């Protein structure tokens, strides 16, 4: 409306200017022909301006009427919207209460999910457990190899020590026999002494024989004990295989639980 008022004022001002020019030209009598032509143009321009003013006023009235109609329509729609808002206030309050309850439920679920995630994180992953198992097996095999080598070294040492002792005694006995044979035929005393030495050597041989037999029995007992330990280890290995199977089942259940937690968190 302000724009229309400004245009109307401008047209009125322009018409007043044209009227003043007409009065000025009429007062000039020495240039009647030129003034007449100019006057005709001004009159024609004045008529056009008046026509434009009339048309502009008519269009302004039409625009004003349209604006008033739109204003009334907007008022009616606003009144209807206010009435609808009053009707929806009760539903809005109920929805707010439902939203608050849902938020409390969601917060409780988020808390439970956080607890489950911490529990899942505390459980080693399948890859970590596989690495632990692999390392334990490597260490166990390494210890078994070192223990076996140590046992072999001890056995070899004891065997060589026994052979050295037997060979030393054999050399000593042969040396005594070799030294006593040339002197044996000279007198009875020397023969008796030589025989006593042979008897002593025989007793030593018998003692060595008993030592070897005792060592053999000890080795047999050690063998039986080792067989018993082997059977025990085989039983432990069987139980270990059962534990590994149960452990893998537990890992599968853990992976399924973790998947359910992730799915619940995403939903």
Note the pLDDT tens digit of each residue in 115-139.
777 766 666 666 776 777 788 778 8
Domain boundaries, the chain: 2-87, 126-237
Question: Model's pTM, two decimal places?
Answer: 0.33
Is pLDDT larger for residue 8 or for residue 97?
97
State how far Cα 126 lies from the chain centre.
13
DSSP at 249: H
Residue 230's pLDDT is: 83
Which contacts qualify for 202-211: CB closer than 8 Å, 24 or more apart? 204/169, 204/173, 205/169, 205/173, 208/165, 208/166, 208/169
Least confident of 66-80, 142-156, 188-202: 188-202
Q: How far apart are CA 161 and CA 167, in angstroms?
A: 10
Average confidence score pLDDT of the chain: 75
**What is the tens place of the pLDDT at every residue in 93-120?**
777 788 788 778 878 877 887 777 776 6
Residue 153 tokens read as 């070294």
In the numeric block, the tokens 């606003």 are attached to 78
Task: State the pLDDT at residue 2.
Answer: 57
Both tokens of residue 66? 């349209």
Query: Residue 147 and residue 149: Cα distance in Å, rounded?
Result: 5
pLDDT of 63 reads: 77
- For 61-97, give one letter per residue: b (16+ CB within 10 A) or e: eeeeeeeeeeeeeeeeeeeeeeeeeeeeeeeeeeeee
Reported confidence tier of residue 90, pLDDT bands at 50, 70, 90: low
Q: Does 160 have pLDDT greater than 60?
A: yes
- Which backbone phi and psi does 123 adopt, to 5 degrees? -85, 130
């Amino acid at each position: 409306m302000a724009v229309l008022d400004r245009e109307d004022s401008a047209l009125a001002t322009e018409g007043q200017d044209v009227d003043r020019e007409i009065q000025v030209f009429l007062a000039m009598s020495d240039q009647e022909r030129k003034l007449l032509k100019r006057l005709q143009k001004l009159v024609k321009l004045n008529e056009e301006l008046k026509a434009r003013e009339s048309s502009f006023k008519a269009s302004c009235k039409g625009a004003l009427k349209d604006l008033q109609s739109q204003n009334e329509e907007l008022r009616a729609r606003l009144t209807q919207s206010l009435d609808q808002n009053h009707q929806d206030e009760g539903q809005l309050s109920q929805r707010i209460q439902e939203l608050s309850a849902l938020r409390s439920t969601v917060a409780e679920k988020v808390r439970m999910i956080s607890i489950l995630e911490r529990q899942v994180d505390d459980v080693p992953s399948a890859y970590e457990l596989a690495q632990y198992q692999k390392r334990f097996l490597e260490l166990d095999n390494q210890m078994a190899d070192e223990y076996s080598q140590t046992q072999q070294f001890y056995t070899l040492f004891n065997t060589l020590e026994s052979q050295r002792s037997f060979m030393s005694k054999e050399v000593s006995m042969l040396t005594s026999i070799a030294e006593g044979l040339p002197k044996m035929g000279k007198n009875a005393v020397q023969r008796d002494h030589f025989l006593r030495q042979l008897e002593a050597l025989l007793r030593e041989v018998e003692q060595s024989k008993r030592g070897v037999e005792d060592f053999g029995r000890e080795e047999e007992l050690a063998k039986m004990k080792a067989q018993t330990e082997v059977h025990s280890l085989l039983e432990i290995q069987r139980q270990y295989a059962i534990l590994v199977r149960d452990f893998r089942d537990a890992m599968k259940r853990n992976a399924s639980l973790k998947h359910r937690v992730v799915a619940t968190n995403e939903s």
